[in-house]
Amino acid sequence: MTRTVTLALHPAFRVAPVRPRTFGAFVEHLGRCVYGGIFEPGHPAADEAGFRTDVLDLTRELGVTSVRYPGGNFVSGYRWEDGVGPVEERPARHDLAWHSTEPNTVGLDEFMAWAERAGVEPMYAVNLGTRGVPEALDVLQYANAPQGIALSDARAAHGHPEPYGIRMWCLGNEMDGPWQTGHKTAEEYARTAAETARAMRQEDPGLELVACGSSSSQMPTFGTWEATVLAETYDLVDMVSAHAYYAEKDGDQASFLASADDMDHFIDSVVATADHVRAELKAEKRIMVSFDEWNVWYQHRAESRPPEGDDWPVAPVLLEDTYNAMDAVVVGSLLISLLRHSDRVASASLAQLVNVIAPIMTAPGGEAWRQTTFHPFALTARHAAGEVLDVRIDAPTFANERFGTSSAADAVATWDETAGDLTLFVVNRDPERELDLAVNLADFGGLSLVEALTLHHEDPYAANTQDAPDTVTPQANDSIRVEDGRLSGALPAISWSLVRLQRG
């Protein structure tokens, strides 16, 4: 019996413009993300500042547009001033979040130099765990104020006379999490965030500020936390954060492949809460979502357990998951969810960029390579353009333990009317069965096929490694064709596909 997924789309059914910030990433002082990741002096590919140029090249290829820094859990105990000034005078500190030693060799100035080389917009997080308003103002003035005051003059003395002009600022990180240094109740955090945001806007009214949402939709605080925080900060912030990680558990492929169902519900719930507060306050503006941590992360694995006791290493191997073909399909599916919500998701950050649950891996002193998850992110970032379209999907379902049943297919499309480019991103989430794809393109005029790529492997657990970095890569899907204004083709089980079409 043929199983067909039919996609209905029209150029007028527009959700919102594609937001470049959807394709952000995250660099935290965690494991080998910074030291041995973006920064490795003495490496054959290191530049004069110690940055690995091979990692920079892969960051550009990945299509990253913004990078959140310096954490993450790390930021809740971080003293930003430890990371500026002469390197030889910077103090080493214990990082309580990851039970490591932070040498402070890389700090704000180094990160901004790296961001300029990478061509990414910085998104800076301030410590509202162990610190507050004064320290947030200090780092803001150091980063953004023109010369003429103590902190901006210090920046100039450190070799950076011009302001950095950082626009996006996170007001802390996951403050409802009991694991967070300086963990707070919703009321405590709301007051601190409001005071900090108000002061930062007195310094610079044009900032874009992100309030902490609940650290997971599974937290008992979820929903009430957002409502409490936004009731206090609504007029002072622009976005509220959302964080979500997914993993295959106990061999349950089906539930894992349906992970985007949870992301959809998560985003819709945060938006509903924000809009409820908006109605109560009779406010005009809408609060947007910053999905500034998302990925596949196998938290139960040994590599996710930090050191213990008297062991406080610098840049230990931590959270270095090796991703397989199925993980890449799920990452592609989550990107579909983020694009589908472009009307309310204003920014997103894949966590993280290098080595730590990352699309890019490095060997100390050796090469860098692309994990399986690199490919759907890079292709989506490269080809999503114009307007996101509301795609209606008619597809068979598959059973799974977490959601009961889920659509076997998911999809989103982008339409660049000026260029005449229509791009489809389609995933077959069925763990066992192929799908036939059917799309009526008549409403777009004469479209021809430019390219069709599918990421799939007969072994869903096949992975890219240092020795075999191209085991799982997107391949041409020769079954995809356009005839008489209709697109058709085959989508293998557990696959992610990109289809590019052009008018004329």
Catalytic residues: 174, 293
Instruction: Work out the widest C-alpha separation in the chain, in whole angstroms.
Output: 74
DSSP single-letter state for residue 274: H
CA distance 375 to 378: 5
For residue 424, what are the CA distances in angstroms to 3, 10, 314, 450, 502? 19, 12, 44, 12, 12
Closest-CA residue to 217 (of 182, 250, 242, 181): 242
CA distance 400 to 403: 6
Residue with tokens 């890219």: 464
CA distance 492 to 254: 15
Please state the three-class secondary structure of 105-119 as a single string: CCCHHHHHHHHHHHC
Q: Return the H-helix or E-strand segment holding 136.
A: helix 133-144
Residue with tokens 């592609």: 332
Q: Tell me, what amino acid is at 11?
A: P
- Helices H / strands E in the chain, number of each: 10, 26
Residue with tokens 């309580």: 96
Contacts of 470 (CB under 8 A, 6+ apart): 464
CB 411 within 8 A of CB 390: no
CB 257 within 8 A of CB 433: no
Contacts of 266 (CB under 8 A, 6+ apart): 217, 242, 244
Structure-token pair, residue 205 = 């009214």
Q: Tell me, what amino acid is at 347?
A: S
CA distance 425 to 413: 6
**∠ CA 260-398-331, rounded to 5°:** 25
Structure-token pair, residue 267 = 């985003």
Using left for φ > 0, alpha for ψ between -120 and 50, and beta otherwise, residue 202 falls in alpha
For residues 194-205, one letter each, b for 16 or more C-beta atoms within 10 angstroms of the residue's C-beta and e for the rest, the string is: bbbbebbeeebe
